[in-house]
Structure 1
Amino acid sequence: MNRKRKLLIPLLFCSAMLTACDDKSTENAAAMTPEVGVVTLSPGSVNVMSELPGRTVPYEVAEIRPQVGGIIIKRNFIEGDKVNQGDSLYQIDPAPLQAELNSAKGSLAKALSTASNARITFNRQASLLKTNYVSRQDYDTARTQLNEAEANVTVAKAAVEQATINLQYANVTSPITGVSGKSSVTVGALVTANQGDALVTVQRLDPIYVDLTQSVQDFLRMKEEVASGQIKQVQGSTPVQLNLENGKRYSQTGTLKFSDPTVDETTGSVTLRAIFPNPNGDLLPGMYVTALVDEGSRQNVLLVPQEGVTHNAQGKATALILDKDDVVQLREINATKAIGNQWIVTAGLQAGDRVIVSGLQRIHPGIKARAISSSQENASTESKQ
């Protein structure tokens, strides 16, 4: 009996040792399984924004040129200041123009007098013709002279009108309300009618245009997606926002006006024009800006955090997922557009997939991993940039 006890004790000790080893192996295996953060994808809707480069363009531009020649005797504006429509900018010496007007008026008076005498002569010839006291030829001559005299009156009146207009043109005014630029002439300069160089340029900057460029590929893609119903556009004007060169967002929201129907052969792009309020003059002509154009709402899309998207040696987008058995799988995906810190994925993934977004350095395809909820778990729900 004692001998049996002696044999049983070592056996129980060995069994306990084996059980402890098995438990420790299980614990070690569990400890060696890497933990990864995952995001479970679910379809949602997102507002799609296109980021387009552009430059600011004045709403109206008037290059001021003289319509009559003469000497500039006065400049009536301060460079860089606002001018209103009809404000006087320059005064050209009116004396020669006034003399031309006086001469034209004298010519008109002479023509009127000649016409009056011609009319009296014609009426007399017409009366005498009835009694055959004058020949038909004398009558015709009188009628011709009257017609010529009346024509000369018309010419003289036109000369007076033109001289009056020229005298008014001596006061060079602004045709628009805007901001004046640098004057190219000073007092005493001789200018000529319709000269090539502008005296000054006036630009209307409130509102102001922004000309944007969009590639033909993106333009056609957007048209196709709208036509197929993938993107739903809001009826009415399309809102546009601006980022300035200093990285700040412009405070005013603009609207898209139109798209140029012509493709630029050099750049392969189309031009879109937006209009923005510019009450404080923050936008100046020629500024480089980046516009965010609201294309519309895309329905039933999958959004994947950027941390979960990588690119292989061929430049193709890929993502690591955990399958139903918690095995890491590599998927090649089609990431079409970045929305904030997420990608729109149109192929390679589906709703319910668990995309790995953290712990990527500890895993590779084919191994098991333990999923933990990521802070970006709801990344694929409805989002707006």
Structure 2
Amino acid sequence: MAYRSLILLPLVAAFLAGCKPENKFQPPPPPDISVAVPLKQSIIPYEQLTGNTVAFNTVDLVARVEGFLESQNYVDGSPMKKGDTLFVIEQTMYKAKVQEAEAQLDAAKAELVQSEAEFDRQETLLRQNVSAQTTYDKAKAKRDSDRANVENAQGNLTIAKTNLGYTTVQAPFDGLVTKHLISVGELVGSSTATKLATIVQLDPIYVEFNMSEQTLLDIRAGLKKRLTLEELSKIPLDIGLMTEEGFPHSGHLNYVSPEVDPNTGTILIRGLFPNPKLELLPGFFTRIRVPLAQGAKEDLLVPNRVIAEDQAGQYVLTVNKDDVVEQKRIKTGQLLPGGLRIVTDGLKPDDRVVLTTNGRAVPGSKVVPKDGTIPPPPAGANITTTK
């Protein structure tokens, strides 16, 4: 009996084991995915280039007449106004030259008065057949010669006054004057014009930069016409220095070279910027923001981080109406401050773009979309929010 019980026990155990429920695979629930529609904003597209500041005016102050430098009437590096006296060259000799020229002019005028009176008398006598023709001709020649002497004396006086004026070197415009190159007491202008210093006008100030031929063609396509000089001056430009955030200095386009340099494939552009505080000095390296079109146009923006790329090009992941992930091919444009990228083609305003980038969104898989947001770009990026 005990032997039979030992045989039945394994059979009962096997039977009980066969009665357990069968194990089945339970798929995980769809993952939660953050999605948002593209940000719709009005964008002014621009190109960022580099260039340098250039003085609006730069003039070398030179001694145009010979003499000893008598005085320096400014402090090196100080701002001066137009017409301010900067240097004075000894004037004694040049004042004497003016007096001499004035005396010669007075003498020539006196001679002319006498010769004109004699000519009038001889002309009357000739009509009365009292004087000979030769006498009349001599009187006429004397009058004409004296007239020429007066004109010559007037020219000499003008030259003498001009040379006297050259003894005073004045500021031709408002600006900063560099350090003096000649000391008081030195002889200047003895053989050639002697450079005394340089005056630089800084307000306003130019910014010059080179633009590629392709960028120029893009701008022309955006503007859809060739602009006049007046229209060019209405195109805004913004610049920033190496140590500045963004582009705090605003100006406008001032000049576009009429030809492209065949060696570099670039064209020279110049902008004009107000500089009342003299913050910009000639030679500064600048970053320049150039608008590529007039007026803003509406664009779709997505975070640059959600854009992926493969051999076929760029794409983003979206979630359709059935909450299934799809891959959409796109074309992109400018990268904006705040990490946003303009999408020029392939995306619709109501497409739900996947913001989650942890690999949980797989094309063809079902997800649970959660509403997210795309932060707008920061202020000062040539962007205005669409109402």
Both structures adopt the same fold (TM-score exceeding 0.5): yes
2:180 counterpart of 1:183? yes
Compare 53-62 and 319-328 and name the one that shifted more.
319-328
TM-score (norm 1): 0.78
The 8 Å contact of residues 88 and 173 in structure 1, kept in 2 or not, is answered as yes
Structure 2 unmatched runs, 5+: 1-11, 226-230
Q: Counterparts of 2:246 and 2:119 in 1: how far apart (Å)? A: 81
Give yes or no for the alignment of 1:89 onto 2:90: no
Answer whether contact 2:254 2:271 (CA < 8 A) is retained: yes
Task: Tell me if structure 2 keeps the 8 A contact 1:243–1:290.
Answer: yes
Which of 81-90 and 272-281 deviates more? 272-281
SS class of match (2:103)? helix
Q: CA deviation at 1:187?
A: 1.9
State the shift of 1:50 in Å: 3.2
Which one of 115, 139, 162 corresponds to residue 136 of structure 2? 139
Would you say 1:351 and 2:356 are equivalent positions?
A: no
- 1:10 Cα shift? 6.4
Using the TM superposition, give the Cα deviation of residue 162 of structure 1 relative to its aligned residue in structure 2, in angstroms: 1.8
Q: Which residue of 1 is the match for residue 306 of structure 2? A: 308
- What's the CA shift for 1:111? 2.1
Deviation for aligned residue 1:140? 0.6
Tell me, yes or no, if the aligned pair for 1:54 and 1:211 is still in contact at 8 Å.
yes
CA distance in 2 between partners of 1:263 and 1:193 (Å): 45
Work out whether 1:370 is the aligned partner of 2:367. Answer: yes
Q: CA deviation at 1:373?
A: 3.8
Matched, 1:209 2:206: yes
Q: Is 1:118 aligned with 2:102?
A: no
Q: Quickly say closer, same or farther: Cα 1:180–1:310, change in 2 above 3 A.
A: farther
2:236 matched to 1:268?
Answer: no
**What is the one-letter code of the residue matched to 1:85?**
K
Which residue identity does 1:334 align to in structure 2? K
**Contact 2:69 2:87 survives alignment (8 Å):** yes
Residues 1:212 and 1:373: Cα distance change in structure 2 (over 3 Å)? farther
User: Residues 155 and 297 from structure 1, CA distance in 2 versus in 1: closer, same or farther, beyond 3 angstroms?
Assistant: closer
Count of paired positions: 361
Which of residues 27, 34, 45 is equivalent to 1:48?
45
| Matched residue type, 1:279 | P
CA distance in 2, matches of 1:362, 1:267: 49
1:167 is matched with 164
Q: Structure 1 residues 201 and 371 mapped into 2: Cα distance closer, same or farther (>3 Å)? A: farther
Deviations 1:334-374 (A, max 9, x none): 2121122111122333333343343255566x562635447
> Is the partner of 2:112 in helix, strand or coil?
helix
Deviates more, 1:40-49 or 1:165-174: 40-49
Q: How well do the aligned residues superpose, as a CA RMSD in angstroms?
A: 3.7
1:282-317 CA-to-partner distances (Å, cap 9, x unmatched) read: 111121111334545543422121101244469x54
C-alpha change, 1:195 and 1:312, in structure 2 (3 Å) is: farther
Shift of 1:93: 1.5
For normalisation by structure 2, the TM-score amounts to: 0.78
Instruction: Check the 8 A contact 1:100/1:163 in 2, yes or no.
Output: yes
The alignment-based identity, stated in percent, is 26
Shift of 1:94: 1.2
User: Aligned pair 1:335/2:332, yes or no?
Assistant: yes
Given residue 70 of structure 1, which amino acid in structure 2 is its aligned partner? G
2 CA distance for matches of 1:190 and 1:211? 39
| Change beyond 3 A, Cα 1:193–1:322 | farther
Q: CA deviation at 1:149?
A: 1.1
User: 1:292 is matched with which residue: 289, 292, 315?
Assistant: 289
8 Å contact kept, 1:244–1:288? yes
* Amino acid paired to 2:297: Q
1:3 — aligned with what? none
Residue 304 of structure 1 contacts residue 379 of structure 1 at CA under 8 Å; is this kept in 2? no
The reply to whether residue 221 of structure 1 matches residue 218 of structure 2 is yes
